[in-house]
Structure 1
Amino acid sequence: MLINQLESRERFENEINDTINQFQKRIPISFTQTLDLIRMTTQGNALLAMFSSNWNLSRAGIDTERNSSFVTIPIIHNNTEQNTSCSCATLQTCTVPAHLSSSNETMIIDGMVFGCYLLETVLLSSLSCFYSETCIINVRNLLGARPPTSQQLNDSLTRFNVHDTIETMAYQMFIESWTSNVSYENFYESCSPNYCVYTYRSRFDAPKMLTTFLSVFAGLSFGIRFVVPYLVKIFQKIKRRFRIEPTQ
């Protein structure tokens, strides 16, 4: 934007702050729309997950040419703790609590869920287990990891809640805080010109040209009327001084 006058500090800061606020609101919305489009496209096209977590393939039969045909059967997730069930064919967010089992023990991981797709599994889970040292130690013991000592996450270092899902944090683009550096002095220095050149263009205006001509002509006429009498007098004086008298 080009302006012929320097903006005041107050107006500059107000415009910059409005621009920053609009940017901070628009970017998460654009990211969320893209993420939701990917999720809906995956669910709407009924794509098979790598670990068969949403559909099972079942052979329907063999024809005379020994060609097999298959049908897809949606996975039903049963949540025994809440006594609910859902189908991956109809519900994108169909999940059950994630279990971790060993030969002697089965553990429900706090905050973790298992969904129809890996993307949904990640987004609909939370990091609450990683804020608990006890939960981390139990998971490491079941996995046989050594040493069992670990460091849990510090909830005072984040603005998100311990039980917030990764989906909630993803919709905020995992941004903890925004920092902006606005300098009116730098703006003034960058906008301070060394010189200015401009061109004035105008269309031919016949009435204006006629008026200008008449004005000039009137000025010349007045000047002539004022100067001519003096020129005549000077000419007559010169003529009388150099007049030649005839000889007899």
Structure 2
Amino acid sequence: MFCTPLTTATYKASIYDWAAERRPYFRMMDPYPPPVFVIPGMKVGCMPYDAFMASNLECFFSATCLNNTAKWISSLPPSDWPKPLNSSVLMNFLPNASTSSILDQYLIDQWHNTKNYSDYFNFCAPTECTYTVEQYNSFIYILTLLIGSYGGLIVGLRTIAPLIVQCSQIIYRWLLQKTQTDVHSAQKQQGIIKK
């Protein structure tokens, strides 16, 4: 298998005994000679990310798989080999679930949300506690508010409208009187100048 930048092919991860056979570097990824041990659920490929996302954790739940893998790749004594994971504690993930589906759920199998306000207050000992309650208004409340606002505007305008009209009439008379006074004084000045 030749790798290119666009290669996303993966195949089963296996352990090979290549020590007995010398081969060129570009042939190292070929699955020949036959594998000594195929690692269940694990994939290999040109791009480690693609292989990881296509793999699953099946081998990590099997003592046989872990022991066979460790036998071939580990220099540790068998007492230090990894122990299998306990599949009985999983709620949402099956041992053969792909790592991409596990990562899609952020590696969280199950949420346990526990609230203990008394412990929080004992630990933090806040001097003050405030909270905000978001409450949406009902249709009846909004309707009542609109009718009340309309009624308030009507009463307000009925009270203020006569005052506004009266003030505007006073200002109009004052401007009219000032204009007439200015015209008369201008005519008198013209009369004085002509004589």
Q: TM-score, normalised by structure 2?
A: 0.48
Structure that is richer in helix per residue = 2
Structure that is richer in strand per residue = 1
Q: TM-score, normalised by structure 1?
A: 0.39
